[in-house]
Amino acid sequence: MTAKQRFLHALERKIPDRLPATTHHVMPYFLNKRMPGTTIQGFFDTFNLDPIKWVIPVKPDTSKGEYGDPEQESVGFLQMKRIFSDSWRIILEEIPDNQYKTTRYTIKTPGGDLTCVIQGNDYTEWVKEPLIKQKKDLEIVAKYQTAPLCDTDEINREADEYGETGLIRGFIIPFDIFGQPGCWQDFCCIRGTQQAIMDAYDDPAWVKEFLQVIQKRKLIYIKSMAGAKYDVTELGGGDASTTVISPKMFNEFVAPYDKPLIDAAREAGVRIAYHTCGGMMPILEDIAAMAPAAMETFTPPGMGADVDLAEAKKRIGSKVCMIGGFDQNRFFKGCTPEDTRKEVRRCFEAAGTDGGYIICPSDHFFDADLPLIEAFADEARKCIY
């Protein structure tokens, strides 16, 4: 099989020729430190892993007077083109800081300005100051935010060029500047996770109104995806895991807003992989009930989560493709290649039965010993059905 065929068989819960093996993202920090000068595709080629190409082109809805940010010269790693209108513009200001790269973003609207501060280092970025500080900010977002459309022509061009090389993957658009694909997860990014949880207790009606506004924007994007040659697209995020919120909160503030997105994606002909980096065991059936094509990341206890891969396979393996489960903290660094091979076999034996499983690190890794990645890839290729 080609890598693409192997992936698609797993996503459709069929049995491929062997265990598909990949990684979620190839982080720039890792490439710069361990494989300088190597491209993302070069990483996959070096280790003979099944490649994934992330493609996230968006375009403005010109019928609404929207346009691309004229000052955004390039689109960085996992970034999108910023979409403006005369009532929604984003201004960037670099702020001097001795330790981190710090940027203040100001969204200019006729109803007032919204501001946030994002910091970052060589590893990643995070929110220093959240965007939504007052409840009245909901009115500004609801009235003025733009709604990017999927650039299907560009996606299809990239997909045709990539051919059978591997999987074409994207994600449901997050909020401008900093966000996540899921509705609740997006809200946590712009409000702050702790404050969002407190709001859910103190003023659940306001939170649900905000979630509907976020959902409406994502639905516009999803409906515009019809005809795009995506193999799979990501929804979800870590703020809906049970290491952050309770199952009760998941079923009140997450599932009711994300399930319609999954339904809309299915109507548009797009598979959804629901991403939960954190605790999953108490909500396995709840996620599966939203009917995504796949679920990830199945993070094990050794990485701070709770997943028993064999138990998860038993409970939901007949309903969705499972992606992840590999402990990259323990088996991509500081162990022997034989240890890594044993972990690959453990994952395959736990979740690989009858297909429908893609072995993958449980989300990102920023550092790794190259011989261990080689052992991971080589052992996965030996996991034959």
pTM for the structure as a whole: 0.96
As for how many domains the chain has, the answer is 1
Burial of residue 96 (number of CB atoms within 10 Å: 0-12, 13-18, 19+): exposed
Ordered DSSP codes for 41-79: HHHHHHHTPPPEEE---EE--GGGT-EE-TT-----TT-
How many helices, marked H, and strands, marked E, lie in the chain? 15, 15
Average of per-residue pLDDT values in the chain: 96
pLDDT exceeds 90 at position 365: yes
| Domain assignment present for 103 | no
pLDDT attached to residue 73: 79
pLDDT attached to residue 194: 97
The residue range of the domain holding 171 is: 3-81+132-381
Tokens representing 316 are 């939901």
Percentage of the chain exceeding pLDDT 70: 100
| Domain assignment present for 20 | yes
Average pLDDT over residues 13-22: 97
| Domain assignment present for 296 | yes
Reported as half-sphere exposure (CB side, CA atoms, 13 A), residue 335 has a value of: 18
pLDDT band at 13 (very low <50, low <70, confident <90, very high): very high
Residue 48: which of 23, 31, 16, 24 has the closest Cα?
23
Count Cβ neighbours within 10 Å for each residue of 13-35 and write b for 16 or more, e otherwise: beebebbbbbbbbbbbebbeeeb
| Domain assignment present for 119 | no
Average pLDDT over residues 136-147: 97
Owner of token pair 């404050």: 195
Average pLDDT over residues 298-311: 96
Q: Higher confidence at residue 371 or residue 98?
A: 371
Reported as half-sphere exposure (CB side, CA atoms, 13 A), residue 120 has a value of: 10
| Domain assignment present for 360 | yes
| Domain assignment present for 113 | no
pLDDT attached to residue 75: 78
| Domain assignment present for 90 | no
CATH assignment of the domain containing 205: 3.20.20.210
Q: Higher confidence at residue 98 or residue 340?
A: 340
pLDDT band at 363 (very low <50, low <70, confident <90, very high): confident
Average pLDDT over residues 33-60: 97
Report yes or no: 11 and 271 within 8 Å, Cβ to Cβ.
yes
pLDDT band at 76 (very low <50, low <70, confident <90, very high): confident
| Domain assignment present for 126 | no
Average pLDDT over residues 239-245: 97
pLDDT exceeds 80 at position 256: yes
